[in-house]
Structure 1
Amino acid sequence: MVEQKDEWTSSVFLALGSNMGDASTNIKRAIEKLQHNENVRLLKSSSMYVTEAWGSSSLNDFHNMVVEVATKLSPQQLLDLCLQVESNLGRSRSEAKGYENRLIDIDLIFFEHFSCHTETLQLPHPYWSSRNFVLQPLNEIASNFLPYNGNKKIADFVADCKDDLKVVKLE
């Protein structure tokens, strides 16, 4: 078993999405379940966005948002918690590769400036900078965050993104 950390790690960003049923409610329920864990604290949350599905025009539009949390969990423990929340809300993962409709999807985008590439976890998320459905809500709550300890802010990545799928902020 992995030992718990004593200190809180902040600048941990999660992207949440859903395109089945009441998608906004699915995302809100996922956030509530994450907060039920005593080792996770919600710091900021973006607005909800409606976005065209990535990878297939035959999929329903998605609702997406990004949250910043503080946690005492390790990156792997947080991933395991996210997968447990997805499962508890009714998501069943398909063995098939590719894009599919999802009741709930929770992705770890950044865990401060930690980087790892294992079979189960890649940090930062490998596609975060090429997807406006992640960048737009992330920019709303963390426009000045500097990924990779670099000098390029999230707002700069938004300006450079080539993704042309429609992303609409809900009021």
Structure 2
Amino acid sequence: MNIVYIALGSNLGDRKYYLTRAIDEIEKRIGEIISLSAFYETEPWGFISRYPFLNAVLRVDTEHDAISVLDLTQSIEKDLGRKVKSHGSYQDRCIDIDLLFFNTEILKNDRLELPHPLLQERRFVLEPLVEIAPDLYHPILHKTIKDIWQEFLSVSK
């Protein structure tokens, strides 16, 4: 059994609907949801928009490998109406699904980087992640999510 942490975000349309549908589809297609954070409203990150995001993080136990989970999450995004996946240039979107961690794997290829390379810079990821997995260990930064969150808060004051 593999453990995957997944971040969700939506800032267009009925944001709660999109997150809830994504959660339902993740459970149907990927695996059992073990933990789900609260929904957090956050300002857009990396671009300017008048539409705030609703974000959450979940832990899923899955039989799939990391690339299969990526393919399944991209399929869910498409089925929920996402047209284009952001690659360095961010924009408003009805749903965004990102893999944060897959077990303790360190992976970097042309399709996927794990752990997610920017998670320590993003309040909208760290806040819900620390809620459900404060003791999760980051295998590159060699710190727990709780420690990364505390450092984030001290820098962002």
- After TM superposition, the score normalised by the length of structure 1 is 0.85
Alignment of 1:16-165 (within 5 A): 16-37=8-29, 39-93=30-84, 97-148=88-139, 152-161=143-152, 164=156
1:151 deviates by 5.3
Rounded to whole Å, the distance in 2 between the matches of 1:96 and 1:125 is 13
Q: Sequence identity, in percent?
A: 36
Measured after TM superposition, the shift of residue 147 of structure 1 is 1.4
Contact 2:49/2:92, CA 8 A, preserved across alignment = no
Q: CA RMSD in A?
A: 2.0
CA apart distance, 1:58: 2.6
Q: Which runs of 5+ in 2 are unaligned?
A: none
- How many angstroms apart in 2 are the aligned matches of 1:66 and 1:157? 16
How many residues matched?
156
Q: Cα distance, 1:57 vs. partner? A: 2.8
Question: Contact conserved, 1:113 with 1:149, CA < 8 A, in 2?
Answer: no
Partner Cα distance (2:140, 2:151) in 1: 18
Q: Which secondary structure state, in structure 1, belongs to the residue aligned with residue 139 of structure 2?
A: helix
Q: Distance between the aligned counterparts of 1:133 and 1:17, measured in 2?
A: 9
- Alpha carbons of 1:127 and 1:153: their partners in 2 closer, same or farther (altered >3 Å)? same
Question: CA 1:74 to 1:123, structure 2 compared with 1: closer, same or farther past 3 Å?
Answer: same
* Matches of 1:97 and 1:154, distance apart in 2: 24
